[in-house]
Chains A and B, each alone.
Chain A
Amino acid sequence: MIGVETRSKSMAGSSVEVERNRKRRKESSLWWMYLPALAAVCFFILYPFLNGIKISFTNWNGFSQTYDYVGFSQYTRMLKDPNTWLVVKNTLLYGVGSTVLQNVIGLGYALLLNQKIHMRNFTRTIVYLPVIISPLIMGYIFYFFFAYQGGALNDLLVFFGWDKINALGDPKINIWLIVFVNTFQFVGIAMIIYLAGLQSISKDYYEAAQIDGASSFQQFKNITLPMLMPSITINMVINIIGGLKLFDVIISLTGGGPGYASQSMSTFMYDLYFNRQDAGYAATQGVFMAIIILILSLAALVYFKRKEIEA
């Protein structure tokens, strides 16, 4: 990605460089320098990942020494399991919902905080602050806000004489609260990336447009937005991957409940493995999750890259 283009430049050119290239080819790969890193990555990521594919074809319970290969039966079970589709639906909601919100709000904040106004740096700092806080603890912080018993929201409702609501226990509301909390926490990243994008747009474009009498909305639509396409791509891909992997916030905010109502694929897998001794099936869900994340993030990348070229 970055840096890949710069590599090819030195290959062409003068005979001195050709000579130098030939010399370099004879040089060793210095493989011993990356051996420790490669070993760690193979042992702790690559090998478990491939092993996971193997386990997904077994009925292993997670602790016994023996298990049987059951072919694709865990996969057919997965496709028939209504919980699978419930958690896939939730995971997509978390992924797509937070992506849309973070980008719309993040762009709005960036447009505002790119202007020379008072409180500019203070607001940026406050919006960004949650990024460095553990998502688990961020979930607890919002738990104090939304809790049925003694939560700040209900204190407010009671103050105005309204009925208390069980926001965290109601599956119609709590999945949206999870999207909200995740957005609240990470909107700062989107904002910063958009701010950097906005600052890289030359002022000349706007001056020319003003001379042509373009309205500020036309300027936004025809200059700002197309020039921001690279930032939009980065944000979309980051947010969709982050949202699809959501785990900590769900644990602290709702514990996945009631029942499976607010589980994501990550928390579902955790539950299958540790609470239901269903390791083979948990591995199957893991493979499925990897495939979904891969497809969606690649799709987002390709789609927005194409938009970038069009723009």
Chain B
Amino acid sequence: MDYMGKKKKWLLSGVALLISAFHLIPFYILITTALKERGDFSSKWVFPKVLAFENFAEAWETASLGHALSNTSIITFVSALLLIIFGSMAAYPLARRQTKLNKFVFMIFIAVMVIPPLTALVPLYKLVVDIGMMNTLEIAILNNVASFLPLTIFLYSGFIRSTIPKELEEAAKMDGASTLGIFFRIVFPLLKPVTASILIISCVFIWNDYQFAIFFLQAEEVKTSTVALAGFFGENANRMNLVAAAAIMAVLPMVILFLLLQKHFVKGLASGSVKG
């Protein structure tokens, strides 16, 4: 492949350019739609002459996107934090102590990974109603944490087993450190690469979550950005400009983060795609 001819190289580069252009089309249409004035029914392919930035302001207000995005941020941030603390803590004994009990518990976590969350929707909904947690951010956090814990534990325990030397912990133990002390002061800092992956996987999926949110967060004050957008679309189907503007604002934070931390995103999501 190093001996590729100049002609062939340019030809293949042209193909890559076409692929990029093809994949950018929907985003181009999204942007032109969002920037057209109300009553401008010109073709979506034509970039608007007058840029209607007021669409963004109106969509932000009427869809109460600010509030929705702050709900989404809280849910994402707290869930990720809990996942990392409780997931890594759970993975440690499962990776290090091969007792019968631990092998069995590890099997439970793996088995749960296979259950598609939505198939248990009906009973889960009943459970949430019964414990009186409908329309609370807490239930969204707990659901998301529970559904990502098995993957988190799987990734952490694999990493602890294969890369963290036992000698470090044994030395600390002789110095009389407590188990939690050893874990959080010695083992946890060494888990940085896998923690980064888990942070990215959980943030992307929880930020974008709609399946849990639509069931458990229907009240105005707890709506997340996806639920707000779905509702906004239902009410404004004839005003595409506003919906497009809202869609852009809802995806922008994650897109910016992705462009800044691209390498980490790609690596992290690849290890998490086991869950799909």
Contacts and interface: CB of A to CB of B under 8 A. Distances in A.
Interface of A: 1-3, 6-7, 24-25, 27-31, 33-34, 36-38, 40-49, 51-52, 54-55, 62, 109, 112-113, 115-120, 122-123, 125-137, 140-142, 144-145, 147, 149-152, 155-156, 158-159, 184, 189, 192-193, 196, 234, 238-239, 241-242, 244-245, 247-248, 251-252, 266, 269-270, 273, 279, 282-283, 286-287, 289-290, 293-294, 297
Given A49-B115, A136-B226, A283-B123, A41 B211 contact: no
A11 to B, nearest CB: 9
Given A36-B86, A112-B16, A193-B270, A46 B9 contact: no
Interface stretch (B49-57, B59-67, B93-101): B93-101
Given A31-B93, A150-B44, A196-B270, A142 B116 contact: no
B24 interface: yes
Nearest to A239: B276
Nearest to B27: A141
B255 A252 contact: no
Contact of B118 (A3, A117, A129, A266): A266
A245 B210 CA distance: 13
Contacts of B2: 116
B255 A132 contact: yes
Given A30-B179, A150-B44, A251 B240 contact: no
Question: Which of B41, B102, B118 is packed against the most chain A CB atoms within 10 Å?
Answer: B118
A117 B12 contact: yes
Contacts of B153: 34, 37
Question: Which of A28, A44, A149 is packed against the most chain B CB atoms within 10 Å?
Answer: A44
B116 A293 contact: yes
Q: Is the interface of A mostly helix, strand, loop or mixed?
A: helix
B181 to A, nearest CB: 13
Question: Which of A25, A38, A47, A239 is packed against the most chain B CB atoms within 10 Å?
Answer: A38
Given A30-B179, A125-B262, A273-B125, A46 B16 contact: no
A84 B238 CA distance: 33
B20 A126 contact: yes
Given A47-B123, A112-B12, 10 more contacts: A7-B161, A28-B97, A34-B93, A37-B109, A126-B24, A135-B208, A184-B26, A189-B270, A192-B270, A252-B233
Given A286-B121, A289-B119, A290-B116, A34 B94 contact: yes
B251 to A, nearest CB: 5
Contacts of A244: 116
B210 A134 contact: yes
B24 A55 contact: no
A156 B45 CA distance: 8
Contacts of B188: none
14 contacts: A3-B161, A7-B98, A30-B96, A34-B153, A47-B123, A115-B9, A116-B2, A116-B9, A131-B269, A141-B29, A141-B247, A155-B43, A196-B270, A247-B210
A6 B162 contact: yes
Contacts of B225: 134
B68 interface: no
Contact of B89 (A34, A52, A192, A273): A34
Nearest to B209: A134
Contacts of B97: 24, 27-30
A244 B109 CA distance: 22
A184 B23 CA distance: 8
B117 interface: yes
B122 A282 contact: yes
B195 interface: no
3 smallest CB-CB distances across A and B, nearest first, come from A34-B90, A134-B208, A30-B93
A45 B120 contact: yes
A133 B248 CA distance: 10
Contacts of A273: 121-122, 125
Contacts of A116: 1-2, 4, 9
A134 B208 CA distance: 4
B273 A189 contact: yes
A273 B104 CA distance: 35
Given A52-B123, A55-B123, A118 B16 contact: yes
A118 B150 CA distance: 41
A48 B86 contact: no
